Amino acid sequence: MLQFPIPPICKIMAESLLLPLVRGVAGKAADALVETVTHMCGLDDDRRTLERHLLAVECKLANAEEMSETNGYVKSWMKEFKSVAYEADDVLDDFQYEALRRQSKIGKSTTHKVLGYITRQSPLLFRFEMSRKLKNVLEKINKLVEEMNKFGLENSVHRGKRQNPCRQTHSKLDDCTKIFGRDDDKTVVVKQLLGLQDQQKVQVLPIFGMGGLGKTTLAKMVYNEREVHEHFQLKMWHCVSVNFDIIDLVKAIAELATNGSSAMLGSIELLQKKLDEVIGQKRFLLVLDDVWNEDKRIWEDELKPLLCSVGGPGSVIVVTCRSKQVASIMCTVKPHELAFLSEEGSWELFSNRAFSNGVDEQPELVTIGRRIVNKCGGLPLALKTMGGLLSSKQKVQEWKAIEESNIGDNDGGKYEVMPILKLSYKYLSSEMKQCFAFCAVFPKDYEMEKDRLIQLWMANGFIQEEGIMDLVQKGEFIFDELVWRSFLQDKKVAIKSAIYHGDTQYKTFVCKMHDLMHDLAKNVTDECASIEELSQQKALLKGVCHMKTSKAEFERINGLCKGRKLRTLLAPSESWKDYNYNFPSKSHKDIKELQQVARFNMYVV
């Protein structure tokens, strides 16, 4: 990847993502390079004070995040602290860059060193300027910390593990509701279940896919199929959700096997004996719906021995989950990956909802409806939500208005689709959240290259080395995790041309984002935008830090970006070619002018 040598490399965090931002800036404040320069400048006391304040805020941010959902004042405070944290990040970057610059000057002549005192890089001028900047940031943070202390926030060290509300599902299918596009999936899964009748050990069959695909619905279809009902002597359904407590889980299963008729004791050994007693050698089907646990040890060492030591030949546990990681940990047979609905199945599901309340299936509405269906990308939850929303709207203008908005922008998407998708996002690590949210800088249906995406994550400081993994390996791990969890999709090998290396070709992995995942990324960050978005919503996009532009748009950048803390500028390869080979070009002039008002890294995409 080519990059302008513009110092220093700035760090960016996505979403409100204030917690990882503060954690990263606090880590930078403790960096040895920063400490060396602040000590030389007599500013080390201020650096240590900044570090302590950031660590104090970090301890309370988890509670602040929760409170901000209902408290507008706390939400506004977090936004302000985020802005100041970026200022602190910039100041610390300057210290790091100065340390590296001085290291590079070691061995230069005495004359050169003396001249340095009267140049732009004079140590005396640097000390004066950085003292002013650091004290300014500290003053702002001091005020915000004083405000924070009035909120009554709890320290994360003293807070008990927050109990997430348990989602509950049941095995009953609504006979009045027609299910579209899943008959083939049902046939495949039923055939798999019945084909395991000669297996002596309990088999585990996962059904996995992104949120909203209909995994629970498919499991219900299978669970209530006549052949399945006749084949298994005992059927049980339990929604696990995020509560993967072993004792609670085994208790629930034992109660299901006895229809809740016996008291359950808390000892694992007694629960194991109870399972032996109530299940015995019956051929059973157990559905564990909505499993999130990715700790292989908990499954392999604790739960699997309990559940797979009972039951007769042909017993099966069906697991529904969003993560391929969960499926790979628990499976004993090939998992069933639930795909998006076909174009025909999508239209059937949508039109069945949209034209159900007296809305006439007139040609113009059908045309608009088909375009809306395309936006839903085969996701049943989105299709049902949008169809239900439009079923109360008779006018063409109303349909057009919904078509022109993102699904997450309207009430249906906001209250039904987005919460389902956000649940998956919530359980990503901080690094994964940052890396995923950054993908909002690309337009919908954009083909992202794995290697360049990882380089962008690295340059923006989203990932850190861990154990024996270097930055590239960590980036590859995160990329693969996002693919496994359906945040990225359509991973495939592609041949690309590197025009800045003589049009040589190279092999790389590419992927895309589902349109609704792109909506989710835009929903959780306000830091990524295109030139069009900046032009249309100047007042609403003050926090934009990452931007993608086309060759023809450089001349529009300067006016839009003045006063912004732009950190990343993604330029198409055609513009880069002009920059390199048609020097000095108009693009080059625009970029140089932009450097005067915003410091950023430029990348070819």
DSSP string of 267-326, one letter each residue: -HHHHHHHHHHHHTT--EEEEEEEE----HHIIIIIIHHHHTTSS-TT-EEEEEES-HHH
Q: pLDDT digit string (tens) for 330-345?
A: 999 999 999 999 999 9
Residues 300 and 396 occupy one common structural domain: no
The answer on pLDDT for 475 being more than 90 is yes
How many CB atoms lie under 10 A from the CB of residue 392? 11
How many CB atoms lie under 10 A from the CB of residue 407? 26
**How high is the pLDDT of residue 586?**
47
**How high is the pLDDT of residue 149?**
86
Strands 546-548 and 528-530: parallel
The DSSP letter of residue 416 is: I
Residues 356 and 448 occupy one common structural domain: no
For 394-452, list the strands marked E by DSSP: 448-449
409 found inside a domain: yes
Residues 137 and 57 occupy one common structural domain: yes
The answer on pLDDT for 500 being more than 60 is no
Question: How would residue 167 be classed by pLDDT, with cut points 50, 70 and 90?
Answer: low
| Exposure b/e, 170-187, CB count within 10 A at least 16 = b | ebeeeeeeebbbbeebbe
265 burial level (CB within 10 Å; 0-12, 13-18, 19+)? middle
585 found inside a domain: yes
**How high is the pLDDT of residue 241?**
81
The answer on pLDDT for 187 being more than 60 is yes
**How high is the pLDDT of residue 13?**
32
The answer on pLDDT for 122 being more than 90 is no
155 found inside a domain: no
**How high is the pLDDT of residue 503?**
58
Residues 126 and 40 occupy one common structural domain: yes
| DSSP-assigned beta bridge partners for residue 570 | 548, 603
Residues 297 and 266 occupy one common structural domain: yes
**Widest pairwise Cα distance in the chain:** 93
Give the integer Cα–Cα distance in Å for 397 and 365.
10
Cβ–Cβ under 8 Å, residues 141 and 193: no
274, 302, 337 - which closes a domain = 337
493 found inside a domain: yes
Cβ–Cβ under 8 Å, residues 196 and 316: yes
Cβ–Cβ under 8 Å, residues 207 and 320: yes
Give the strands of the sheet with 203-208, arranged side by side: 234-241, 284-291, 316-321, 203-208, 336-337
Give the integer Cα–Cα distance in Å for 328 and 480.
14
The DSSP letter of residue 490 is: E
Give the integer Cα–Cα distance in Å for 492 and 100.
39
Q: pLDDT digit string (tens) for 26-64?
A: 988 998 889 999 998 999 999 999 999 999 898 888 788
169 found inside a domain: no
Residues 382 and 452 occupy one common structural domain: no
Amino acid at 39: H
Q: Which two three-digit tokens encode residue 519? A: 């909506």
Give the integer Cα–Cα distance in Å for 152 and 72.
15
Number of helices (H) and strands (E) in the chain: give both, helices first.
28, 12
Lowest-pLDDT choice from 143-152, 176-185, 526-535, 536-545: 536-545
Amino acid at 243: N
Percent of the chain with pLDDT over 70: 80
Give the integer Cα–Cα distance in Å for 81 and 64.
12
What is the residue range of 569's domain?
Answer: 526-604
| DSSP-assigned beta bridge partners for residue 15 | none
Residues 62 and 122 occupy one common structural domain: yes
137 found inside a domain: yes
Residues 434 and 421 occupy one common structural domain: no
Per the structure, the count of domains in the chain is: 5
Residue 218: name the closest of 337, 366, 357 by CA.
337
Q: pLDDT digit string (tens) for 546-589?
A: 777 765 555 555 555 555 567 777 766 554 444 443 333 444 55
Give me the helices (H) in 485-572, please: 515-524, 531-536, 554-561
Residues 280 and 325 occupy one common structural domain: yes
**How high is the pLDDT of residue 603?**
54
Q: Which two three-digit tokens encode residue 54? A: 């950031």
Lowest-pLDDT choice from 224-238, 314-328, 378-392: 378-392
**Integer angstrom CA distances of residue 573 from 238, 551, 556, 577, 600:** 52, 9, 18, 6, 18
**How high is the pLDDT of residue 372?**
93
11 found inside a domain: no
Q: pLDDT digit string (tens) for 236-294?
A: 999 998 778 888 888 889 889 988 766 666 678 888 888 899 999 999 999 999 999 99
Question: How would residue 126 be classed by pLDDT, with cut points 50, 70 and 90?
Answer: confident
Residue 522: name the closest of 440, 407, 410 by CA.
440
Q: What is the mean pLDDT of residues 375-402?
A: 90
Cβ–Cβ under 8 Å, residues 332 and 316: no
Residues 331 and 203 occupy one common structural domain: yes
Residues 352 and 216 occupy one common structural domain: no
User: What's the mean per-residue pLDDT of the chain?
Assistant: 81
Residues 271 and 361 occupy one common structural domain: no
168 found inside a domain: no
Q: Which two three-digit tokens encode residue 464? A: 């850190």
Residue 502 sits in a domain whose CATH number is 1.10.10
Which pTM does this prediction carry?
Answer: 0.77
How many CB atoms lie under 10 A from the CB of residue 17? 21
Residue with tokens 């970029």, as numbered in its chain: 591
211 Cβ partners below 8 Å, 6+ apart? 322, 381, 420, 421, 423, 424, 486
